[in-house]
Structure 1
Amino acid sequence: MKTIFKAAALALAPMTAIALASAPAAAQSKSGIAVANLEQAVGTSVAYTTAQTQMRTTYKAQIDAFNARKTVIDADLKTRGEALQTAINGAGGKPTPALQTQYEQYQAQTQTYQQELQRLGQPIALANAYVEQQITAKLSDALKSAMTKAKVDLVLTPDATVSYQPTVDITAAVVTELNALVPSVGITPPAGWQPAQRGQQQAAPAASAAPTNPAQRPTTR
């Protein structure tokens, strides 16, 4: 069950970052500089966590089908990968027509599986995108409100700082504002709905893309 939610999550575009600057000045500045992890704020909001729980029930059949099929696909690709690695070793790492054919078959099957898992995972990926979009629509308002209450003029992303004191982190305050603005969200997108400004994303790859040269393929576990 964790697999599909992680995959769906990986399919979504990253949230907009806030302006960057150095954190040490935050402790000294009276103008108000803070740090906030907006992705974390959305992910820990009541609306998001509740929606995830609801999705595990509403989309249980799709989640189970995805995970069951992925288990089969992973096993098949592992077997094919091991056979390909054995052939590569047997050829001394030198490309041969037979090896190239085997590699191309492996690559084609991998792509076919990726497309299959994408189709299976679409309902969950789309529902997750719908949930996130409803929450992030209020993220700017929540951030502004948190900034006003904390008397903050500038907000930075955590990864933009070298170091900062926990006291300048207003992520929890943003979560509080989000919970007030968006106490709950729907988990079923309207017919034909797509994430704003982007098409529906791939739910989950069946495996990492294979290298172009079969002789360079890493040893399969």
Structure 2
Amino acid sequence: MKKMIKTVALGSAMALATVAAQPALAAKSAPAAPSDGGTIIPGLAVANLDAVVANSNAYKTAEQQRETTYKAQYDQAKARNDQLTAQIKPMVDKFNADRQAANPNQASLQQQAAAIQQLQEKGKAELQQILQPVAMSQAYVQEQIEDKLNDALKAAMKKRNVSMVLSPDSVIAFNGAAYNLNQDILNELNTAIPSAQLVPPSGWEPRQVREARAQQAAAEGAQQSTSTQPTGR
């Protein structure tokens, strides 16, 4: 019960608000350690591709434009979030008061907790539905940038004579000046895609959805092919 109480209290205060907030890819920078004067390994570099995408001109411009283009959705989500928060707060207050009783009614507390969590989940689904166009825009912009990212990486590697690129997550420390390829990739990416289309075309689906559909269609096709093959006597 204590775990459920914590979940209810925390969820009502935070879950709905975080859904209504605009999701964004946080701008990151590859960690670097100061040079210790050691030997530099030629042909090796480190790159944080998430940071490159988040700091690209196309991504940052789209983030700014989206606030205006999808203002109606943001405003609607905020208004609905405020309504849900106002609706849930007294329920949580009553729940917390009832559980402080000398002999709390455990069955009643469980019913209250279930009602609060049900309302939270319903509200979260509502807010996600309202912000669905925003999420689709973000996925569309990111996919456009990622489509150019591999070529930008290869171009940067060629110019710096790099044969291997590692992720910062796989490196404990490195000389940032000597190995950091972020800016080189970013320069190539900004040239390849200075801006991205903000609003996806009608019927567009993210790559993951398209790939999942294609895999399902292939599996169904293979199954049908197998079932229609003649059997030997």
Same fold (TM over 0.5): yes
Partner in structure 2 of residue 214 of structure 1: none
The structure-2 alpha-carbon separation of the partners of 1:4 and 1:132, relative to structure 1 and needing over 3 Å to count, comes to farther
How many residue pairs are counted as aligned between the two chains? 184
Give the Cα–Cα distance (whole angstroms) in 2 for the partners of residues 122 and 91 of structure 1: 46
Ranges in structure 2 where 5+ consecutive residues have no aligned partner: 1-17, 26-34, 211-233
TM-superposition CA deviations, 1:46-92 (whole Å, max 9, x none): 11111111111111111121122223323433433332222223266
In the alignment, which of 62, 65, 68 is matched to residue 73 of structure 2? 62
The structure-2 alpha-carbon separation of the partners of 1:179 and 1:129, relative to structure 1 and needing over 3 Å to count, comes to same
Instruction: Check if 1:85 corresponds to 2:96.
Output: yes
Give the Cα–Cα distance (whole angstroms) in 1 for the partners of residues 200 and 208 of structure 2: 16
Flag the structure with higher helix content.
Answer: 2
Task: Measure how far apart 1:5 and its partner are.
Answer: 8.8
Partner in structure 2 of residue 127 of structure 1: 137
Rg larger in structure: 2
Give the Cα–Cα distance (whole angstroms) in 2 for the partners of residues 163 and 78 of structure 1: 47
Give the Cα–Cα distance (whole angstroms) in 2 for the partners of residues 180 and 119 of structure 1: 35
Task: Measure how far apart 1:95 and its partner are.
Answer: 6.8
Secondary structure, counterpart of 2:77 in structure 1: helix
Partner in structure 2 of residue 97 of structure 1: 107
In the alignment, which of 153, 166, 171 is matched to residue 161 of structure 1? 171
- 1:2-151 aligned at under 5 Å gives the runs 7-9=22-24, 28-90=39-101, 96-151=106-161
Task: Please provide the CA RMSD for this pair.
Answer: 2.7
Equivalent residues of 1:66, 1:121 under 8 A apart: yes
Give the Cα–Cα distance (whole angstroms) in 1 for the partners of residues 20 and 159 of structure 2: 34
TM-superposition CA deviations, 1:131-172 (whole Å, max 9, x none): 000000111111111111111111111222111122111111
Question: Which deviates further from its counterpart, 109-118 or 148-157?
Answer: 148-157
**Amino acid of the structure 1 residue aligned with 2:191:** A
Larger relative contact order (Cα-Cα within 8 Å, sequence gap ≥ 6)? 1
The structure-2 alpha-carbon separation of the partners of 1:140 and 1:91, relative to structure 1 and needing over 3 Å to count, comes to farther
Instruction: Check if 1:171 corresponds to 2:212.
Output: no
Equivalent pairs: percent with the same residue? 38
Equivalent residues of 1:146, 1:177 under 8 A apart: yes
Give the Cα–Cα distance (whole angstroms) in 1 for the partners of residues 138 and 175 of structure 2: 33
Give the Cα–Cα distance (whole angstroms) in 1 for the partners of residues 82 and 207 of structure 2: 32
Secondary structure, counterpart of 1:9 in structure 2: coil
Equivalent residues of 2:20, 2:78 under 8 A apart: no
